[in-house]
Amino acid sequence: MEVYFDNSATTRCYDSVKDIVVKAMTEDFGNPSAMHLKGVEAEKYIKSSAESLARLLKVQEKEILFTSGGTESDNLALIGATFANKRSGNHIITTSVEHPAVSQPALFLQEQGFEVTYLPVDSRGVVKMDALKAVLREDTILVSVMYVNNEVGAVMPVEEIAALVHEKSPKALFHVDAIQAFGKYRIYPKKMGIDLLSVSGHKIHGPKGVGFLYINEKAKIQPQILGGGQQGGMRSGTDNVPGIAGLGAAAVEIYKNLEENVENMYRLKEHIAQGLEKIGDIRINGMDLREGAPQILSISVMGVRSEVLLHSLEERGIYVSAGSACSSHKRKPSATLAAMGMSKDQIESTVRLSFCEENTIEEADYFLQVMGELVPMLRRYSRR
Q: What residues are annotated to the active site?
A: 326
**191 burial type by CB count under 10 A (0-12 exposed, 13-18 middle, 19+ buried):** exposed
In Å, what is the CA distance from 47 to each residue of 36, 110, 127, 169?
A: 17, 37, 37, 35
Q: Cβ contacts of residue 66 below 8 Å, gap of 6+?
A: 46, 49, 50, 210, 211, 212, 231, 235, 239, 240, 244, 247
- HSE at residue 261, side-chain half, CA atoms within 13 A, is 17
**Rounded-to-integer distance, Cα 317 and Cα 310, Å:** 11
- The one-letter code for the residue type at 140 is T
User: For the CA atoms of the chain, what is the radius of gyration?
Assistant: 21
Contact indicator for 5, 319 with CB cutoff of 8 Å = yes
The count of other CB atoms within 10 Å of the CB of residue 81 is: 25
Task: Classify residue 230 by its DSSP letter.
Answer: T
Q: Cβ contacts of residue 264 below 8 Å, gap of 6+?
A: 357
Strand-strand pairing, 350-354 and 318-319: unpaired
